[in-house]
């Protein structure tokens, strides 16, 4: 989907500073949220791709408001509410009660976890399909504009690059995030010249990006 | 951002996290000690020291270096490191001609088994947005000036492959032991936003 998460090449973010001796977790709630985020996938009957898509589905303000773990917290809640494990508003109501407010918590709703089959643990799969592309071949990133989850950043859409390597086949996040199957396919690292991505006056570099076979097409 | 009506009046994140944990614990869906275990793993056991050991070994052992570049996941596993976010690790080597730098523009994918959890700068929108577009300028702002003759390769971790930079061994480190070399290797060098230097 087109959204706040797809940041590659966007302007206006300012600079970034390395913070020496940064702790793994700056705040206690960051640590708890990290663990809760991991646990939320199992508790909601979902998966990592659905979790990433939940991050993307947050309102842009929500995505940025409380930083990285703020969006983990919101995404975990979103998956749990989607699955009926928690009622909408349950987290806020409980938080208000913890803060001393006298509010009524919503009643539980019916659990409706997604039903889908996994072909195994993790994301890598053995597949028998012949790879459609070979190393050294010129390819174009298709001009896909999916409404749902995808791992093709907007900045390569329609751009031409060269296959640099073929990686292990993997489940397609565009499918697994929506529980419609695994659709395992070949994955390629594709090399793009910066000037082909950002224009002729771009800083010269090469960008390597991993793209699923269905994201690519032949150029000839 | 706090002026926005979406977030202005709601309880702070720390309370919402506490609320979420309580709701899940009460329902028997998570156990406190399991959550503690996830946290302890990345606070105490899995961090950039793992990656530094991989780098130092590659610097002193040419056969290991060759295995590492050919099969990152397997060579890293030889040292006992693996697990979530490390299903397939690709090691890219910095040389006098090429400088590699790693990003995840879509979220913040990072090779947890060798580096632990990502630092704030890696998760910063400015890093995610800019390093694919103006890496040389951004790296300079972050304190690493890459020679104009050196090619910059940016690796955007958009699938389940995780990229890990094998930095250049610094001049003046010829007589250091593997253990001493390990102590030199910083997290930032293994993502590609710093070089390794011998302490002066």
From B175's Cα to the closest Cα of chain A, the distance in A is 28
Binary contact (B19, A95; C-beta < 8 A): yes
Q: Is B145 on the interface with A (CB under 8 A)?
A: no
Q: A138-218: same fold as A1-115? A: no
**Each residue's pLDDT tens digit, B60-92:** 999 999 999 999 999 999 999 999 999 999 999
CA pseudo-torsion sign B141, B146, B148, B150: negative
User: Which chain B residues contact residue A69 at CB under 8 A?
Assistant: 13
User: Which chain B residues contact residue A29 at CB under 8 A?
Assistant: 13-14, 17-18
Instruction: Give the pLDDT score at B80.
Output: 97
**Each residue's pLDDT tens digit, A55-73:** 999 999 999 999 999 999 9
Q: Is B107 on the interface with A (CB under 8 A)?
A: yes
Q: Which residue of B has its CA nearest to A122?
A: B87
User: Which chain B residues contact residue A210 at CB under 8 A?
Assistant: 156-159, 161
Q: Is B27 on the interface with A (CB under 8 A)?
A: yes
CATH number of this structure's domain B47-191, picked from the four choices 3.90.330.10, 2.40.30.10, 3.30.565.10, 3.90.190.20: 3.90.330.10
Instruction: For residue A66, give Cα distances in angstroms to A53, A99, B7, B122.
Output: 18, 18, 9, 16
Does the complex come out with an ipTM higher than 0.90?
A: yes
Nearest CB to A22; choose among B103, B120, B138? B120
Q: Which residue of B has its CA nearest to A33?
A: B17
A199 vs A195: CA distance, rounded Å: 5
Listing DSSP states for B85-136 in one string gives T-SEEEEEE--SSEEEEEE-SSS----HHHH-SPPHHHH-HHHHHHTTT-HH
Nearest CB to B15; choose among A22, A99, A123? A99
Q: HSE (CB half, 13 Å, CA atoms) of B56?
A: 21
**Each residue's pLDDT tens digit, B131-151:** 999 999 999 999 999 999 999
Nearest CB to A73; choose among B20, B127, B137? B20
Alpha helices in chain B (DSSP H): 13-26, 32-40, 48-60, 62-70, 72-78, 112-115, 120-123, 125-130, 135-141, 178-184, 187-191
Domain ranges for chain B, please list them. 13-44, 47-191
Residue ranges in chain A modelled with pLDDT below 50: none
Q: Does residue B3 register a pLDDT over 70? A: no
Q: Does residue B200 register a pLDDT over 90? A: no
Instruction: Give the pLDDT score at B1.
Output: 45
Q: At what angle do helices A28-43 and B13-26 cross, to 10 degrees?
A: 40
**Each residue's pLDDT tens digit, B164-186:** 999 999 999 999 999 999 999 99
B 80-99 residues inside an 8 A Cβ radius of A: 87-88, 90
Nearest CB to B23; choose among A8, A27, A94? A94
Q: Does residue B7 register a pLDDT over 80? A: no
Q: Does residue B160 register a pLDDT over 80? A: yes
Active site members of B: 104, 107-109
User: Which chain A residues contact residue B129 at CB under 8 A?
Assistant: 7-11, 13
From A91's Cα to the closest Cα of chain B, the distance in A is 6
Instruction: Give the pLDDT score at A220.
Output: 79
Fold of A138-218: SH3 type barrels. (2.30.30)
Nearest CB to A7; choose among B117, B128, B137? B128
Binary contact (B38, A52; C-beta < 8 A): no
Architecture of domain A1-115: Orthogonal Bundle (1.10)
Q: Pick the closest to residue B94 from B173, B24, B150 (CA basis).
A: B150
Q: Is B6 on the interface with A (CB under 8 A)?
A: yes
From A61's Cα to the closest Cα of chain B, the distance in A is 7
**Contact in structure between B23 and B15 (CB atoms under 8 Å):** no
């Amino acid at each position: 989907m087109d959204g706040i998460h797809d940041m590659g090449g966007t302007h206006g973010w300012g600079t970034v500073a390395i913070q020496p001796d940064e702790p793994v977790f700056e705040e206690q709630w960051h640590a708890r949220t990290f663990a809760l985020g991991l646990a939320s996938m199992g508790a909601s009957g979902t998966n990592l791709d659905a979790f990433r898509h939940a991050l993307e589905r947050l309102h842009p303000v929500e995505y940025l408001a409380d930083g990285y773990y703020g969006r983990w917290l919101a995404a975990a809640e979103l998956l749990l509410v989607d699955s009926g494990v928690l009622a909408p508003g349950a987290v806020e109501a409980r938080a208000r009660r913890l803060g001393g407010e006298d509010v009524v918590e919503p009643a539980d709703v019916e659990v409706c976890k997604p039903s889908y089959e996994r072909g195994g643990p993790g994301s890598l799969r053995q597949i028998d399909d012949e790879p459609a592309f070979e190393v050294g071949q010129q390819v174009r990133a298709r001009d896909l504009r999916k409404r749902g989850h995808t791992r093709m950043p907007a900045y390569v859409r329609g751009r031409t690059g060269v296959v640099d390597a073929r990686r292990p086949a993997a489940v397609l996040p565009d499918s697994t995030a929506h529980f419609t199957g695994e659709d395992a396919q070949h994955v390629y690292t594709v090399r793009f010249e910066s000037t082909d991505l950002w224009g002729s006056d771009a800083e010269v570099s090469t960008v390597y990006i991993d793209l699923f076979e269905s994201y690519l097409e032949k150029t000839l | 951002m706090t002026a926005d009506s979406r977030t202005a009046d709601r309880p702070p994140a720390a309370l919402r996290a506490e609320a979420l944990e309580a709701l899940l614990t009460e329902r028997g869906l998570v156990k406190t000690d399991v959550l503690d275990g996830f946290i302890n793993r990345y606070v105490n056991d899995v961090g950039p020291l793992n990656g530094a050991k991989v780098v130092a070994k590659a610097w002193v052992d040419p056969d290991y270096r060759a295995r590492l570049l050919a099969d990152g996941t397997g060579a890293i596993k030889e040292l006992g490191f693996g697990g979530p976010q490390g299903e397939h690790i690709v090691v890219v080597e910095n040389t006098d001609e090429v400088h590699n730098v790693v990003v995840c523009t879509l979220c913040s994918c990072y090779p947890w088994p060798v580096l632990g959890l990502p630092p704030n700068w890696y998760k910063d929108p400015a890093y995610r947005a800019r390093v694919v577009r103006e890496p040389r300028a951004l790296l300079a702002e972050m304190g690493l000036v890459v020679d104009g003759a050196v090619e910059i390769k940016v690796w955007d971790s958009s699938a389940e492959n995780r990229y890990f930079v094998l930095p250049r061994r610094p001049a003046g480190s010829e007589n250091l032991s593997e253990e001493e070399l390990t102590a030199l290797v910083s997290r930032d060098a293994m993502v590609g936003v710093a070089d390794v230097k011998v302490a002066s």
